[in-house]
Structures are given as structure tokens and as C-alpha cells.
Amino acid sequence: MSKNAIKILLIYTGGTIGMQKDHRSAALKPFDFSQLVNNIPELNQLDCAIDSRSFPRPMDSSNMNPMHWADMAEMIESAYDSYDGFVVLHGSDTMSYTASALSYMLENLQKPIVFTGSQLPIGDLRTDAKENLITAIQFASLRSNGLPVIREVGLYFENQLYRANRTTKINAEQFEAFSSPNFPPLAISGVHLTVNSEYLFRPETRRKFTVHKEMDTHVAILKLFPGIRREVLNGVLCIPGLRGLVLETYGAGNAPTEAWLLEDLGEAIGRGLHVVNVSQCRGGSVIMGRYETSEALRRIQLINGKDITTEAAITKLMYMLGSHVSPKAFKTIFESSLRGEMT
């Protein structure tokens, strides 16, 4: 390892990637990341100095919540000046939520943060964990003219590096577990690592790296379906303390033109609820006013989520509410891209 080796901090939060079989009981147990290089000797081929830190109690990602996101943000903040890049190992089930949240919480990021995980444990014979881990570290260590190539939060899985806040989990069994339906991959791992430079996020270099840790969880997601009853809508709109709602509509942002639905949504918006219109479709964009069934939503001032994912929309709501964005500016700011999360 050269004296100019890139310094990478590996943060293990939990998940399948950090598991291996106990040879005595055959049960899965957490991997000892202090012995990482001993167990994955291929890492010696990287010109990287790799340190690791783990959550005190690694967790299944189904238990992940905004308090744990704040813990991650603090770990990165405290180590930010000491490392050139970060790789976060995380369970795949909620990885898109966590990675999207971190993209908002880490403002003016100038270093790579790459999330990865696996579908099989690191000690399994057919595991995808080693390739995902090794390549995630490679992408976190890429440099051009002395500067990091990646300067945003990414998510690497099965040969693709995506912008984290553009991703969604699409498969619980295949190695290709994630997709980025509305934005091309930032890079592809094949025989060579191919970076699509034109798609990389370029933060404002003159602004100071800032960490935001307050996320407001007074939010909800409601998916429309044929036959939805007024009682269901009002059961959500009348949740005590609710401040933000992601409304998953049909197609390009369409909803039933039932008078009660528009009246109740309009009344909730009038009393200060922020309602974001996102599409249930995996790909495509909300275009309010394209059809009569969305024109009414535009008139009552639903926030246009454009081509944002549900994961990025709900975490953006938490971030903006936690940042105390003024009600007057809220719609305008949400409809603007903050970290490349919408086109």
C-alpha cells in the first residue's frame, strides 16, 4: 500500500451482507469487520487504507428509522476530514429510504458515500456480497486530477452505481435488486469501470459541508386505488399532527374526480398540510394538467412530485419539515431539485 493510499471508512449498520454462518451451529451471525482484509484478501489489491466502524447493535434494515439516519450522519460528520470516501453497508429492504435521506441530510457533500449490501451473506458460496463490497470501495476511491470522481450519495448493486435518491428496490430474490427508473446509472462495472460523467451531481464547491440531523416524521404515504372510500382518505388526513403527505396517484399524476376527494384534499391543504403528488408507476413523471383527472389536483395546489420516487419524496418531506422551510416557500422548494432527486 502506497503512502498516498485512499482512505476509506466502511460503516456497517446491519443487513445480509454482514452475516456469515457459524460453523458450529450453521446459524447466521454478524461478520467481524475488524478482520475484513483477512477474510477478503482481494482488498489487498486496492490501493486503499480501509477502516471500519459498526453500529453498536447491527440491525435488520426493516427496523431502520430517522434516529439511525442521524447516527449515520454523525459518524460521517465526525470522520469527514479524516477519510477520502465512505462505504455504508446496509440491509437492502430500506436502503433506498436511508440513502435518499442521507443525500438530503449531507449538504454540499464533496466526497463519495456509496451504499451497498447483498442478497446473500458474505460467507455464502454464491454470495454477491464480495463483488458489491469490493466495487463499492473502488467507486468510493476513484479520483480524477486529485479530486473524487463521485461527490454525492450513491447506491451500488449488481454492476450498477446509481444516484441513491433515484433508486427503488424491485426484487427480493434476484441479485439485481434495485433500479433507477427515471435516471441513468452514474457508472457501470464491467471489464472496466465506466463512469457516465455527464450524469454526476456537482455540488457547489465554495459552500461548507453541512450536516442536518432533524427529520420530521409527521408524514404519511397514501396510495390511491379504485374504490377508495372517503373514510380511508379522512382517516389519513385527520391523523393528529400530520404535516406532510405523499399521495401516490395513477399514471401521470391522475386521481378520481369525485367531489369529496377534491374537497377534502383542498381543505387539508388550506389548513397547512403539504401534499405531494407522485406516480404509482415505476417510471415516468407526474404532469399535472395533462388530463382532466389531474387538472383539478393542480388547481388545489398539490405539490408536483414530477419524476421523484416515493422513497425520495417521503424523506424529502421529512428533511424540509425538519429544516423549518416556510409554508410560503415550501411548494416551490419541493418542486426544485435539491440533490438531483428529480428532473
Please report how the helices 259-270 and 230-237 are oriented relative to each other, as an axis angle in degrees rounded to 10.
Answer: 10
Could you give the angle at the alpha carbon of 324 between the alpha carbons of 321 and 325, nearest 5°? 85
Is the Cβ–Cβ distance between 158 and 175 less than 8 Å? Answer: yes
In Å, the largest CA–CA distance within the chain is 69
List 16, 94, 98, 135, catalytic entry = 16
90: left (phi over 0), alpha (psi -120 to 50) or beta: beta
Q: From residue 308, give the alpha-carbon distance in Å to each of 81, 167, 284, 285, 304.
A: 32, 10, 9, 8, 9
Q: Is 16 a catalytic residue?
A: yes
Exposure of 26 by Cβ count < 10 A (0-12 exposed, 13-18 middle, 19+ buried)?
Answer: exposed
Q: From residue 280, give the alpha-carbon distance in Å to each of 159, 222, 224, 251, 285.
A: 26, 10, 9, 7, 10
Is the Cβ–Cβ distance between 147 and 167 less than 8 Å? Answer: no
- Which residues 6+ apart lie within 8 Å of 167 measured at CB? 95, 96, 99, 100, 155, 178, 179, 180, 309, 311
Q: What is the Cα–Cα distance from 133 to 309, expressed in whole angstroms?
A: 25
Residue that has been written with the C-alpha cell 388545489 in this structure: 300
Q: What is the Cα–Cα distance from 257 to 36, expressed in whole angstroms?
A: 57
Write out the catalytic residue numbers: 16
